Copies of this chain bind each other. A is one copy, B any other.
Amino acid sequence: MTDQQVVRPAAIGGFPEWLPQVRIVEQHWLDLIRAGFERYGFCSVETPSVESLDALMAKGETSQEVYTLRRLQEDADDRSDARLGLHFDLTVPFARYVAQHFNELVFPFKRYQIQRVWRGERAQEGRFREFTQCDIDVINVDQVPLHFDAELPRIVHDVMTSLDLPAWTLNVNNRKVLQGFYQGLDIDDPLEVIRTVDKIDKIGVSGVGELLSKKVGLSDRQIGACMELAGLRGTDAKVVEDITAIGVRSELLSEGLDELAFVMDSLGDLPRGSVVADLSIARGLDYYTGTVYEGKFTDWPTYGSICSGGRYENLAGSFIRRSLPGIGLSIGLTRIFAKLLAEGLLETGPSSPGDVLVVVPNDEQRGAAAEAAGRLRGRGLNVELYHQPDKVAKQVRYASRKGIPFVWFPPFAPGRPHEVKDLATGEQVVSDVETWRRP
């Protein structure tokens, strides 16, 4: 041992990491999510972790959360890294990617992207500085078919169902319904109302009412209608009738209601209550222009949204003079995973991917043990060969501590048979490397 200074190894707040028995579950989740996305034919894209600050701030909105890069030893004459930042979501990089590779992609371009993102926020429950997002988006020239407004929530429903999560709901709304409704009420600045009503979760109905009156200057009749709309929820397309019954009319509203009805109808075969039309949600970002989505755990309504997204016009317009509308949904993997872990609802896995540990009883049998391990591997099994001759009990204990379910005993002497022990049952039987299967 050296007598150098010891740097105490500490966790950095907001940058989660897992033990192997937790990581193996996260990996399994990532596999399921990827398989779910590919099941619908979405291709994988990864972009660099880094974008130019110009690209990151093309929309201007989240600049305060961006981590910029600087080289520790920066030459005064080479400032080439000075305008780089870590991406804070996967939508902006995707828009830049599509604009940059426009001539090499097939449209409508359907991709998924599973990567880490970074935000320089203060860490708190459900908020991390580094976390993994799982996004699917479709982007197309001029027009994205309504088909995708229903397909994306179906994919996310499938994927999240495969993860076996506690009860959750995907809430759906349509910005055209909100904006058209407010237009029908002769409200001058619908976006301001959308932003205000979106605070209903935080400041309640009365708080929103007060803001609409004092800050936006709405009449009592207007506020009453807005509140009636925001109070509506429905598990199928009949919610459209409830909206219509309020008595407000506009062309944009009709268009939005048709879209909302299409989405709810198309998803009618999913379990009742898994997708809910909720007229109170708006999603803060100004670029959403049609369908919007927000997923929440049923039992933790104040916990942040676990998936979210919507339809946007021309997001890539910051990068290319083409009209490229899109629609997307993002699963907040780390937020979901960390919550289940914290609540004790995550069944951790073994700390090894191994199916079998092959014991090395003594130096003479090391060759036979190595050969057995090699043959089992050749048949597709994950096999650890113990690293040295040692007491068998110690080797079995090692397998047990790592959660390796089977222990293989090569012959203790030439001519003797192989045996395999099931650590769950304790049963040990004669076996053969060429035919044994994990039960």
Which residues does A use to contact B, with CB under 8 Å? 1-2, 4-13, 15-20, 23-24, 27, 38-55, 58, 63-73, 80-81, 84-86, 96-97, 99-101, 104-106, 108, 110-111, 116, 118, 120, 129-130, 145, 147-148, 151, 314, 317-323, 351-354, 357, 377, 381-385, 387-388, 398, 401-402, 404
Nearest CB in chain B to that of A80: its residue: B13
Q: Tell whether, in the assembled complex, residue B71 and residue A6 are in contact, meaning their CB atoms are under 8 Å apart.
A: no
Kindly identify which residue among B8, B49, B50 contacts A319, using a CB–CB cutoff of 8 Å. B8
Please name all residues of chain B whose beta carbon is closer than 8 Å to the beta carbon of A55 when the two chains form the complex.
7, 9
CB-CB under 8 A for A41 and B383, given A12-B84, A48-B12, A71-B120:
yes
Q: Tell whether, in the assembled complex, residue A319 and residue B68 are in contact, meaning their CB atoms are under 8 Å apart.
A: no
Q: Tell whether, in the assembled complex, residue A320 and residue B9 are in contact, meaning their CB atoms are under 8 Å apart.
A: yes
Please name all residues of chain B whose beta carbon is closer than 8 Å to the beta carbon of A320 when the two chains form the complex.
6, 9
Q: Tell whether, in the assembled complex, residue A382 and residue B38 are in contact, meaning their CB atoms are under 8 Å apart.
A: yes
22 contacts between A and B (CB under 8 A): A1-B314, A2-B314, A4-B317, A7-B52, A7-B55, A8-B319, A9-B99, A9-B320, A10-B100, A17-B97, A27-B44, A38-B382, A40-B377, A41-B352, A41-B353, A41-B404, A49-B118, A49-B130, A66-B71, A81-B120, A108-B387, A151-B387
Give the CA-CA distance A208 to B58 in the complex, in Å. Answer: 53
Give the CA-CA distance A321 to B38 in the complex, in Å. Answer: 47
Q: Tell whether, in the assembled complex, residue A43 and residue B353 are in contact, meaning their CB atoms are under 8 Å apart.
A: yes
Q: Tell whether, in the assembled complex, residue B11 and residue A100 are in contact, meaning their CB atoms are under 8 Å apart.
A: yes
Q: Tell whether, in the assembled complex, residue A96 and residue B9 are in contact, meaning their CB atoms are under 8 Å apart.
A: yes
Q: Tell whether, in the assembled complex, residue B6 and residue A321 are in contact, meaning their CB atoms are under 8 Å apart.
A: yes
* Closest chain B CB from A199 CB (angstroms): 23
Q: Tell whether, in the assembled complex, residue A401 and residue B106 are in contact, meaning their CB atoms are under 8 Å apart.
A: yes
Nearest CB in chain B to that of A318: its residue: B7
Q: Tell whether, in the assembled complex, residue B67 and residue A73 are in contact, meaning their CB atoms are under 8 Å apart.
A: no
* Closest chain B CB from A273 CB (angstroms): 20
Kindly identify which residue among B15, B49, B73, B96 contacts A116, using a CB–CB cutoff of 8 Å. B49
Q: Tell whether, in the assembled complex, residue A48 and residue B16 are in contact, meaning their CB atoms are under 8 Å apart.
A: yes
CB-CB under 8 A for A43 and B24, given A12-B52, A106-B398:
yes
Q: 4 smallest A-B Cβ distances: which pairs?
A: A41-B384, A15-B48, A41-B354, A71-B120
Give the CA-CA distance A336 to B416 in the complex, in Å. Answer: 46
Q: Tell whether, in the assembled complex, residue B20 and residue A130 are in contact, meaning their CB atoms are under 8 Å apart.
A: no
Please name all residues of chain B whose beta carbon is closer than 8 Å to the beta carbon of A45 when the two chains form the complex.
20, 23
Please name all residues of chain B whose beta carbon is closer than 8 Å to the beta carbon of A66 when the two chains form the complex.
71-72
How many copies of this chain?
2
Please name all residues of chain B whose beta carbon is closer than 8 Å to the beta carbon of A106 when the two chains form the complex.
351, 398, 401-402
Give the CA-CA distance A247 to B58 in the complex, in Å. Answer: 69
Q: Tell whether, in the assembled complex, residue B52 and residue A23 are in contact, meaning their CB atoms are under 8 Å apart.
A: no
CB-CB under 8 A for A50 and B15, given A72-B64, A145-B387:
yes
Please name all residues of chain B whose beta carbon is closer than 8 Å to the beta carbon of A65 when the two chains form the complex.
71-72
* Closest chain B CB from A55 CB (angstroms): 6
* Closest chain B CB from A378 CB (angstroms): 9
* Closest chain B CB from A371 CB (angstroms): 10
* Closest chain B CB from A376 CB (angstroms): 10
CB-CB under 8 A for A69 and B43, given A314-B1, A320-B9, A388-B145:
no
Please name all residues of chain B whose beta carbon is closer than 8 Å to the beta carbon of A319 when the two chains form the complex.
6-9
Please name all residues of chain B whose beta carbon is closer than 8 Å to the beta carbon of A323 when the two chains form the complex.
1
Q: Tell whether, in the assembled complex, residue B7 and residue A23 are in contact, meaning their CB atoms are under 8 Å apart.
A: no
Q: Tell whether, in the assembled complex, residue A43 and residue B67 are in contact, meaning their CB atoms are under 8 Å apart.
A: no
CB-CB under 8 A for A383 and B351, given A19-B101, A63-B72, A321-B6:
no
Kindly identify which residue among B120, B322, B404 contacts A72, using a CB–CB cutoff of 8 Å. B120
Given A9-B97, A43-B351, A69-B120, 13 other A-B residues pairs in contact with their CB atoms under 8 A: A7-B52, A7-B54, A7-B318, A10-B52, A12-B50, A16-B48, A23-B43, A40-B377, A40-B384, A108-B387, A145-B387, A147-B385, A151-B385
Please name all residues of chain B whose beta carbon is closer than 8 Å to the beta carbon of A81 when the two chains form the complex.
67, 120
Please name all residues of chain B whose beta carbon is closer than 8 Å to the beta carbon of A63 when the two chains form the complex.
72-73
Kindly identify which residue among B4, B111, B401 contacts A318, using a CB–CB cutoff of 8 Å. B4
Give the CA-CA distance A17 to B13 in the complex, in Å. Answer: 30
